[in-house]
Amino acid sequence: MSLGYAKCFDPTGARYGIPTYPWRCVPDGYATRRQLRARGLRPGGQQVAAQALRPRFRRGPLVAYFYRLDCAKPVRPMTPAKRRALECANRARRTCPQCRTDAGYVIPTSLGVCVPCAYPDEQRAA
């Protein structure tokens, strides 16, 4: 049995449990996960707030899930603690284990030490 247009329209959720609209007729204030992502947002733990149905011939309807924009949260906010941890990790990667100075660049793993420590003779000659 195919799904008529009228059955796709259930803004109170009486039929489906959540507000349901025909495809491309979802009101403002809702966004799919993908649309949230495009705005730098994520659902943020909220439940699916609405759905859109598109009837398909001899098949179940195509369903898209929508989240409330006003409940969405920014994608992974950088906390001060996280920022500090990152800075610390970066500093450790720049510090030469031999001369203990910040080389100003990430120590190449192929050398294991900063360039002056790896090639002391060449540095003196230069």
* Span from 10-18, 27-35, 63-71, 98-106 in contact with Zn ion (CB under 5 A): 98-106
Smallest separation, CB 93 to Zn ion (Å): 13
Closer of 40 and 97 to Zn ion (Cβ): 97
Site for Zn ion contains 117 (CB under 5 A): yes
Q: Which residue is listed with tokens 């060449």?
A: 122
Instruction: Please state the closest distance from residue 92 (CB atom) to Zn ion, in A.
Output: 14
* Interacting residues with Zn ion between 14 and 73 (CB under 5 A): none
96 touches Zn ion (CB under 5 A): yes
- CB of residue 116 vs Zn ion: minimum separation in angstroms? 6
CA distances (Å), 39 to each of 71, 76, 96, in order? 13, 13, 41
Whether the Cβ atoms of residue 68 and residue 46 lie closer than 8 Å to each other: yes
**Cα 53 off chain centre by:** 26
Residue 120 and residue 104: Cα distance in Å, rounded? 18
